[in-house]
Chain A
Amino acid sequence: MNQLPTLFGVINYEFRMQFRRRALWITFLCIALLFLIRGGIHFFLVFALSQPLLPLVANWARSLNFLLPIVAGVLLADRLARDRKTRVDELFTSTPGALSVRLAGKYVGSTLATLLPIFLFYSIGVGSILYQTHNVMTIPYALAAFATISLPGILFVSAFSIACPFLLWVPLYQFLFVGYWFWGNILSPHNGIPTLSATILTPVGGYMASGFFGDNQQLIVNATVMQGVESLLLLLGISLLVMVVLWQLMKWEQARQ
């Protein structure tokens, strides 16, 4: 059976289910208010406007990456658990759509819907940079920064948030995820506690920001382009691996029933 229509159908419905959640938009709006508290109408850009355009745009993308993936990760954590709660998972098993296709559709659809408010918020900052610098190159730079700094981090977080609640209680995962975000992205490696901060496995995107865009006002300084590529590929590779492991686990569970 051709699974492509099933894939597009699942992506479509998962996207719409997530996109239409009022909670998604309200939560991102509240986080935007937190940014406003810190930086006024310029958001985080109060730090950065004196920089050249390329690192400035990267700085904006990286700054958002400190807070917004937390919201995305926690909001995506209930997607798989919801199927169990509403008892539709058994119904899905009886349909001709393959489990792998349904999982891929869930991952792509719900992640795309969660990316939308993030991209909107990012675009407001980009608009502000464009207004203040009067440089039209802001737009292509911003798109490149979003694709290489923000997107890999969100894809990484989404994969874990969809997969881990298969084994963990959702609030426990949410707590562990927020704690991980601090430990693995913000905690300084000089603190004594071993941490993933400053390694290429940081979804906050420091290596891409420094290696591709020369943004060195952060934990990672003077990274090479190669290190940026390594970090990006590692994040994408692990995301894929996590989804494959989830697929195998669910297949194993189904076989046991």
Chain B
Amino acid sequence: MFLDRLRYELKLMGKRVILTPVLVMLGFALIAIFLHTRAEDPSRTLSASLEIILPLATGIVIATITSHDAAIELQLTMPKKYDRTVLRRLIIIFGWTVCITLLSSIIIYALKFWYIPLSSPSESVTLQFLTQVLTWIAPLLWLVGIGVCLALLLRSRSASGALIGGIWIFEIIFKDYIAATNWLHPVFLFPTTLLPMVGTIPQVYFNLWLTTRFELLGTALVFLLIGWLLLRNPEGLLKTSSEE
């Protein structure tokens, strides 16, 4: 039963949802090979693909999937609550992206192209790997959370995509300003690649990096909770199609 539902949800969303993260990573693998052939270090580019690019793609796809269902009127008449259906779709997309990113992380780590901050040069392999996971899981979850919230609040796929794009570019252009402003730290998305924070760094900076990652995860969970509450408003969901 569970597998059947999974299969149907995948069919409904289409192969493009599954293919997007795979194609993004393949594209970046080609760029990394190109850089390597030109004797340039591809570590930062590969880190950007995990920390910056894949979360953007996932955020936009999630915003599209959350606010739109071709048979929404029918869905709302079903005994199964629609918020659970959307939650299942979110878990599928997020889970699949995590799988692809995790696999890419392992390959990048094995090829010694990792780009992570370390508190000491003798840090264990497990801790190094967990640090690498933390570099991308926090922005990924944050952009998923904000994608859900914006899609349901604005009731427009395009508007939520536009805002996600705007926030994404804002985070890149004003990285130094955000880093220097304490109250913006809980929404500091990409410090590892952009500042950059890499190799053995002083303990105080490592702690700051770690704190911002956990704060980012916290704000992401808040957005997801708000999104789930918004999903339980059927009237709002019905209005979405009229806003397109």
A residues touching B (Cβ–Cβ < 8 Å)? 21-24, 26-27, 30-31, 34, 37-38, 66-67, 70-71, 74-75, 77-78, 82, 85, 169-172, 174-175, 177-179, 181-182, 186, 192-193
Q: Assess the B168–A178 pair: CB atoms within 8 A.
A: yes
B-chain residues with CB within 8 Å of residue A182 when the two chains form the complex: 169, 172
Q: How many A-B Cβ pairs are below 8 Å?
A: 102
Q: Assess the A178–B177 pair: CB atoms within 8 A.
A: no
CB distance from B152 to the nearest CB of A (A): 13
Q: Assess the B166–A78 pair: CB atoms within 8 A.
A: no
Beyond known contacts A38-B177, A85-B244, A182-B169: 20 more, CB 8 A cutoff: A23-B159, A24-B159, A27-B163, A34-B167, A38-B174, A66-B169, A71-B162, A75-B158, A75-B162, A78-B244, A169-B16, A170-B64, A171-B63, A174-B60, A174-B161, A174-B162, A175-B20, A175-B56, A175-B61, A186-B169
CB distance from A145 to the nearest CB of B (A): 20
Smallest CB gap from B20: residue in A: A172
Given contacts A67-B166, A74-B165, A75-B162, contact A186 B57 (CB under 8 A): no
CB distance from A38 to the nearest CB of B (A): 6
B45 at the interface (CB under 8 A from A): yes
CB distance from A136 to the nearest CB of B (A): 32
Q: Assess the A30–B166 pair: CB atoms within 8 A.
A: yes
Smallest CB gap from B168: residue in A: A178
Interface extent on B, as a size class? 35 or more
CB distance from A180 to the nearest CB of B (A): 11
Smallest CB gap from B14: residue in A: A169
B-chain residues with CB within 8 Å of residue A24 when the two chains form the complex: 159
Q: How far is the CA of A17 from the CA of B159 in the complex (A)?
A: 15
Chain B 150-162 interface 0/1 with A at a Cβ cutoff of 8 Å (1 = within): 0000111111011
Q: Assess the A171–B165 pair: CB atoms within 8 A.
A: no
Smallest CB gap from B16: residue in A: A169
CB distance from A194 to the nearest CB of B (A): 8
Partner of A23, one of B45, B156, B169: B156
Q: How far is the CA of A186 from the CA of B169 in the complex (A)?
A: 9
6 shortest interchain CB distances as A-B pairs = A23-B159, A23-B156, A74-B162, A178-B165, A192-B40, A171-B64
Give the most central of A21, A74, A169, A186: most B CB within 10 Å.
A74
B138 at the interface (CB under 8 A from A): no
A-chain residues with CB within 8 Å of residue B170 when the two chains form the complex: 34, 38, 67
A-chain residues with CB within 8 Å of residue B60 when the two chains form the complex: 171, 174-175, 178
A-chain residues with CB within 8 Å of residue B64 when the two chains form the complex: 170-171
B103 at the interface (CB under 8 A from A): no
B6 at the interface (CB under 8 A from A): no
Q: How far is the CA of A257 from the CA of B156 in the complex (A)?
A: 31
CB distance from A230 to the nearest CB of B (A): 26
A-chain residues with CB within 8 Å of residue B237 when the two chains form the complex: none
B-chain residues with CB within 8 Å of residue A37 when the two chains form the complex: 184
Q: How far is the CA of A181 from the CA of B154 in the complex (A)?
A: 23
Q: Assess the B154–A70 pair: CB atoms within 8 A.
A: no
A-chain residues with CB within 8 Å of residue B244 when the two chains form the complex: 78, 82, 85
